[in-house]
Amino acid sequence: MVKLWRCEICGDPYIGDTPPDNCPFCGAHKKYIKTAKNAEVSFRVDLSAKDKANVEHALQVEVSNSAFYFCAANKTDDAEGKLLFKALGKVEAEHAAIWKKILRLTEIPKGNDPCHVSNKENLEDSHARESKAINFYKQAAAESQNARVKQIFEALVEVETDHLHLSEERLK
């Protein structure tokens, strides 16, 4: 029976018989996808000065990564790479949208990160970007006293780790 599901990380709805393994929008793992009526989703959080600084930095990370991935999707010399980078760009843009909601911004800043024609170079950049994001998000989660902010950072560590594994597979 078709149900309405909702991701507790990005807040987006999904229609299906069962919850997806990952949110089709932000990539959050299945444990964060609940029936819409049971999902606890809030972007109205009081940010400490440290959380605000970390969330602002996270927004910049996601804007930068999204811009890089969309650039790579257009320029890379590999057909599958184009698809991968387009998908990653969409997910990173959704992460930026999460931080936009938390910061109560009216728009997401634009990124303009360069990329390569070489798929291998783009994968290497991807690997470095995802590693950097994971390390920062782990630190930000550990520093946060806010349960919702901590939850989002921890969920995004899992998603960015999935992305890291995608680049690792393709670099072999």
* Full set of structural domains in the chain with CATH: 3-38 (2.20.28), 49-171 (1.20.1260.10)
Task: Give how far Cα 125 sits from Cα of 95, 131, 158, Å.
Answer: 19, 10, 19
Q: Supply the angle between the helices 147-171 and 49-75 in degrees, to the nearest 10.
A: 30
Q: What is the pLDDT of residue 82?
A: 98
Look at the block and give the residue holding tokens 């990124």. Answer: 111
Provide the CA 172 distance to its chain's centre, in angstroms: 24
**Residue pLDDT, tens place only, 84-133:** 999 999 999 999 999 999 999 999 999 999 999 999 999 999 999 999 99
**Is residue 11 packed enough to be buried (19+ CB in 10 Å), middle (13-18) or exposed (0-12)?**
middle
Count CB-CB contacts under 10 A for residue 83: 12
Residues in the chain: 172
pLDDT < 70: residue spans in the chain: none
Q: What is the pLDDT of residue 105?
A: 97
Whole-structure pTM value:
0.97
